[in-house]
Each structure stands twice: as structure tokens, then as C-alpha cells.
Chains A and B, each alone.
Chain A
Amino acid sequence: MFGVANKLRAAGVLGLNERNAEFIMRLNPRRLYPRVDDKAITKELALQAGMAVPDLYGVIHHQGEVRRFREIVANYESFVVKPAQGSGGDGILVVTGRSQRKRDSFRLSSGMLMSEAEIEHHLSNIVGGQYSLSGHPDKALIEYCVRFDPTFAEVSYQGVPDIRVIVYQGYPAMAMVRLPTRVSDGKANLHQGAVGAGVCMSTGETLTGVLDNDVVDEHPDTGALISGLLIPQWDFILESAARGYDVTGLGYLGVDMVIDRYKGPLILEMNARPGLNIQIANCTGLACRIRRIDEIFDADATPEERVRICRREFPAERQTSMSFDL
């Protein structure tokens, strides 16, 4: 038991307790949390900083406004409904189109049909606080539905694959691509069954994936090889992530991005408590990269400089074709 712990420590693997005590509590002051916990605020801050985000169609603040839903989406075929303070992707509804026969029926990314009344009930639940972190009343955001880039078409089952970058003190430390599966119901959250694939920070090339803490080479639904895909506009993605630090002030930050076919990389949300599965996806411990960043930290470095340093410092330690004994 202690042998395993020692090996993990030697490999620089970050545990939950250490993440909470050493990084989140030390680097993420509570008063900054609303900037990332409330997606409406995040969006506003990102826009002010000139970062690309999905367009906001409308916000439903309270129960009385749920009626406005119809007019908000009147001009859009597809959109996303999400709670402003949701956690872990809960409560997100991706509407990809409308039913041909009934104008007030919506088709979800999973292929299911949902009536307007059902969506309105969902909005009520969001506003009532069912999905919010603290159970407090919440807002519902209705925004642009990303039409994702074909890069990951082969390795996603419905839903939108996204890119998670861990930013430590403004330096992008580690990244992964989260690929939805049938089990994850089109959602890109690892604990819901999505596949996470590590990314080489230098090249933006995907490595092997991880599914439920196990390393996988192929997507479970499509069977396509996960590794070796080159993420477009990698530099821009890392820069946007690095800029997330300047916008939020959070020293330990997870930035979630998607690549839109037409608009390029967009910031979806940011997270003050990013999970640790990214280490498994990359087969690398976060703690050693964090130590390296502490060594080279320069408070005056611009986001571009920080990205350049990280691309130089953190190439993939393992080759994509490597296999693991489990």
C-alpha cells in the first residue's frame, strides 16, 4: 500500500487532498469563485478580455421568465440550455434541431424528442436551483450550440468533444480532449463515462485515452484510434486558456474549450476545482509539472510567453503508441 503511494509520489501524481489543500485553498480565493461558478459572469469577463465564447441568446433569471423561452429561441434551430451555476455538466440540454412535424418539439443531441413544456419544466428546475452548486436559485443560459470541428468526428459519439486545459499560475500545465460516448449520453464529462485523451503540450497531438480510470486506445463506440489526432489552432487554444488566469485571477484553473467549425476555439466554461483524471489521460503526474512551473514562474510574462515556455517544457513524456499493463 505504501509502496504504491511512494511510486505515485515519485511520479508526481496529485491527490485530491493535496489539490484541495495546497492549490485550490491557497491559490483560489473564495471571493473569485463567482467568476467561474456563474457561467454568465465568466462569459461577460471573457468577452471583455476579447476572448471568443459561444453567443448568448438569452438568460432566464426567475420562474416568471420561463415563458420567454419560446421567443428567445424563436429564430434558432439549435441551442444549448445550461444552468449558470451547474457543476460537472449537470442540467445541460443540447438541442440540435426541431421536429419536422411539430414546431414546438425539439430534438436533443441524443436523438430524443422533447416538447416545449418539458424544456420549460427543465428551465424551472434550473431556476429553482436543482443543479446549482449550493442549491440556491440559479439562472438558465440559452446559448449558441457549437457545431463541432470534424477533427474529432471519428472519436465522438454524439455530443460535443471539448478540450480541458489545466492552468497553473497562468501557465498551461496539462491538457486533455474529452470525447463523449454512448454511456456519457453525449456529455463530455469523464465521470459520466466520456473518454479523456491526453494531449502533448508541445505539438497538440492526442495521446492514448482513459475510460473510467483505465487506459484505452480506441473509442468504445466508434472504434476509431484516439491517439495521433492533431488539434487545430493549438497555440490559440493554449493562449486563451492562459488568458483565463488573467481574467479570473484563479491560480489553479481548468479551462474548457470547444472548437467550432465556423468560429474556431471558443471558451465554454472555467472551473476552480478541475478534476484529476487528466493525469491518467496523460499518464503524467500534475505535481511535477507544477513544480517545474514554480521554478520558471515569472509574474510579468505575457500569455504568449507563458504558452511558448509550456510548449517547450512539457512535451509528451510517452509515445502515443505505447501500451500499458493494467
Chain B
Amino acid sequence: MKQNYVFALALLLAAVGMSVFVYKWRVLGFPLTDNQETPVWTIESAISFDSGPGSIKVNLLIPTLTPGFRKLNENPISRGYGFSLNYGSGGREAQWAVRRADGPQTIYYRISVYEDSQADQSDTTPPFPPPPVINEPFKTAVDVLVNDVREQSADTESFTSELLRRMNDPSPGPNLELLLSDVSNDSDFVEVATTMLAAARIPARKVHGFPLSGRQRRAQPVTWLEVHDGDRWRYFDPATGEESIPERFLIWWRGNESLVSVEGGSNVEVDFAVQRNHVDAIAIARTHAGQDSTPLIDLSLYSLPIRTQAVYGVLLMIPIGALIMVLMRNFIGVDAFGTFMPVLIALAFRETKLFWGVVLFTLLVALGLSIRFLLERLRLLLVPRLSAVLIVVVLLMLVISLMSHKLGMETGLSVALFPMVIIAMTIERMSVVWEERGPTDALRGASGSLLVAIAAYIGMGLTWLEHLIFTFPELLLLILALVVVAGRYTGYRLLELSRFKALTGD
């Protein structure tokens, strides 16, 4: 019965731990290993203009909905301008304003994004567009063309493809030639397409963006055609009519509005620069979770100050040490002084490294023990004697540090990191065992402690494990579950097998 409760509790703990872990890993994208980095694209637009005599107001359309990308951060950089963010018909608008400015001005807007195929931002389903108001003779040309294309197509997709194919035909026919007579660039070309799609009552819009690749000094926005098929937006290459989208296409703004408008300035120029760099995947996961306002991120250790993070990096490994302790004691049956003394020693080993840790620990305990035997002759009472041992341990640490420093062995300095109270208690306990049960038992206990400490050091020193626990502290629940289950392990310990060998009946 009790067994069932224990397993149920362990199962519950493990389930909670694992589900939080899986959620953070799969959904929030926390990395399993330390060195996962995600490419981050920084796009900087520089608006330069000559300031006029009066107040200046600068409007820049900035990315709103960016399918395939998630925003890491964005910042406007300007000198002395007031900044505000507005929502206009074409999406978000960055607005800078200043009462007075002298000479040529440059304003920067910088955004960092990273790829995320799951970034499925909801877009509104547009209403059917009103028939465009077009003057003759263009109206007739549009009507004829729309009818022709409609006859040769089945749905929105094929209509769009057919339309674009005809528009790109080297000999498009008199109607299209008329319509395309004013077209001087891609943007105008797409605009004609949207007009005709509107005449066919198909919602369509112009999108402007950047295919991100490597570092680009002067990136040119590319115009693409976005068509809504009643269900979702689809992208068409205006030059071929194929449904496609350029690789890593960051949509900057949509619609016919001009990218930038400057009131009170002249000679406006906008330059885009693209840069690719790598950012720790954890930083991205944090921002990601922050945007989705997941409470889990508040539990993340990465929100703590760096200094505190360093402390927890070590503290969170103690449960691992405890787990190893449980394995060594209850499953193998190793004798050790003190329940968690070996784990604390292992913590000190992290700083000293294994070899010097073992050397220093052995040295400290051996010296402390011999002085403890000298103290025994003085017949001190228990607590004063313990304090005396503690003071001796501190002095020994000091001496070892000074000596090793003089000898040029800097590792000796780290002896100061040993938990001195624990060592003093170990020395006391060991000396009692030594007297009562003889040196064999005392040395066996000491070497057992050292063995467990080394095992714990190795377990707690696994970098991948440290990263995993630090990023997913909920895994500690899993360790708790393991320890709880181990607490009901009633089988033999490994060393008991040889102890009771005579009873096997062989």
C-alpha cells in the first residue's frame, strides 16, 4: 500500500518535471545543449535627410507581421527626437519628431529577428475589395482581361498565376500593353496586378521585404504579391507567376504607402543594411516566452542577476551529488563519514580539480588527525576540543596555502574552499572511530568518503548535465522522484552480496 503511494508520488513528480521540461524544450525552444546558437538577423534602416527650418516629423513603416520570423528586439536610434509607435493602415509606423534640427540628419531604426517556422502570427481575413475606380479606356481593358483570365482559371491561385503569366508575356497584347504603359519598376508592376485582382474581387496586396542572406550593405527591398484565397495569404512571384516566396523573406511593410515620409526635411534617403550574427539560443527562448507571456520564464534562472546565477549553477548540482550519495550508500553499500560530507568535499573539488583536491583533502585530514591525537592527551572537553580542531584546520589551510604559494603551486591556494567545519567534524569522527574500532575502520570510512566524493565530483562536473539542470531546473523533480523511489528499494546492496555469500547455500 505504502509502496503504491510512493510510486504514485514519484510518478507525479516525474510527470510534472518531465512535462515542464518537454514544454520548455519543444515549445519554448530552450536548448538541450550549451552551444546551440541561432542565427539572428539585424536589419538597420538609416533615414538621412537635410533638415528644413521648422519642426520635423519622420514616419517610417516598420515590420508588423513577419511570417517565418520572430522579433528578438528592436530599437530606434536618433539624437534628440521624440519617438512613438503608431498603428496605421499599412501596419506599424515608427514616428520621430523634433521641434528644431540643424543640418543633415540621420535616424536609425534597427530590428533583430530570428527564423522560426512556427511563428504563425494571425492576420486578419480581409473583406472583398471594392471594385477599383478606373477611368476609360483602362476600365474596358481591365474588364476584358479579367474575363479572359477568369475563363482560363479555376480558382484564386490559378487566376493569379495566369494573370501574372500574361503580364510577363513579352508580347502581352494591346489591352495589357495599355495597362503596363506607365509601369517603371517592380512596385508599379505589382500595383497593376493588385488593381486587376481587385477588379476580380480578389483581396491582394503588395508586400515589400528583404531576402536575408549574409551581410548586405545596401539591401534593396523586393516587392512581392500577396493574395488571399479566402483562407490564408499566399505569395506569388510577380516576375514568373509562380506561387513562391524568396528564401528567408522578411516582410518589412505592405501596401501602397511609401516607406518613409519626412515632414520638414528634404533629400530623403533610406538605406537598409543587413547583418547576420549568432545569439545564444537561450536569449531567444527567453524573448520568445516573454512575448507569449509564459509564466514559466519567470521561473527561469536566466532572469536572475548573473552573480546569483553563478551561485545557483553550483547549488543546483548538489541534488546530483545527493543522488550519487544515495546510489553509493543504498545500492552499493559504501561506508562514508557523515551523510553529505562527501558531496560538500566534491563541491570543493570543483575548484581545486580532482588530483589536487584529493591530495589537499588527504593532507588536511592526515595533518588534522595527527594534531587531534596530540590534543587527546590534553583531555579537553568535547566542545572546546572540537573548536580546537576547527581552529587547527583553519590554520592548516592557511599554512598549506602559504607554502604552495611560495613554491609557486597556485592550486594550493584553493584549499581555502574546503568546508572547514565539515572537515573538522570528519577529523573528530575519524579519530573516535580510530580509537574505538581501530585504524582499519577509520581508514575504510575515510577512503569510502573519498570514493563517494570523487564519484559525486565526476557526476556534478558533467558540463552537459550542469547546463541541462540550470536551464531546466524542473528536472530536479525527476531526481527527487528517483530518490523517493530509491528510498523504497529493499533489495540487497552490492557489497552485501559478498558479505552474505556464505548464506547462498553453495
Contacts and interface: CB of A to CB of B under 8 A. Distances in A.
A326 interface: yes
Given A1-B497, A4-B497, A90-B436, A279 B503 contact: yes
B503 A285 contact: yes
B500 A17 contact: no
Nearest to B383: A128
B503 A326 contact: no
B505 interface: yes
A11 B497 CA distance: 12
A17 B432 contact: no
A193 B439 CA distance: 13
Contacts of B498: 213
The 10 A-B pairs at the shortest CB distance, nearest first, are namely A128-B382, A18-B490, A7-B504, A121-B379, A15-B492, A4-B497, A90-B436, A21-B490, A17-B490, A13-B500
Interface of A: 1, 4-5, 7-11, 13, 15-18, 21-22, 63, 90-91, 117-118, 121, 124-125, 128-131, 183, 191-193, 210, 213-215, 276, 279-280, 283-285, 324-326
Contacts of B505: 7, 10-11
Contacts of B383: 128
Given A8-B492, A22-B490, A283 B503 contact: yes
A214 B490 contact: no
A9 B488 CA distance: 17
B34 interface: no
Given A15-B490, A192-B436, A280-B503, 14 more contacts: A4-B497, A8-B492, A15-B491, A16-B493, A21-B489, A22-B490, A90-B432, A90-B436, A117-B379, A129-B382, A131-B432, A191-B437, A280-B500, A326-B502
A129 B386 CA distance: 12
Interface of B: 330, 333, 379, 381-383, 432, 436-438, 441, 487-494, 496-506
Contacts, number: 97
A324 B488 CA distance: 34
Contact of B492 (A5, A191, A280): A5
Contacts of B441: 191
A126 to B, nearest CB: 9
Given A16-B333, A22-B490, A90-B436, A4 B504 contact: yes
Contacts of A7: 504-506
A102 B500 CA distance: 49
A17 B432 CA distance: 26
Contacts of B438: 183, 192-193
A193 B437 CA distance: 9
A11 B381 CA distance: 49
A325 B506 contact: yes
Contact of A215 (B379, B436, B499, B502): B502
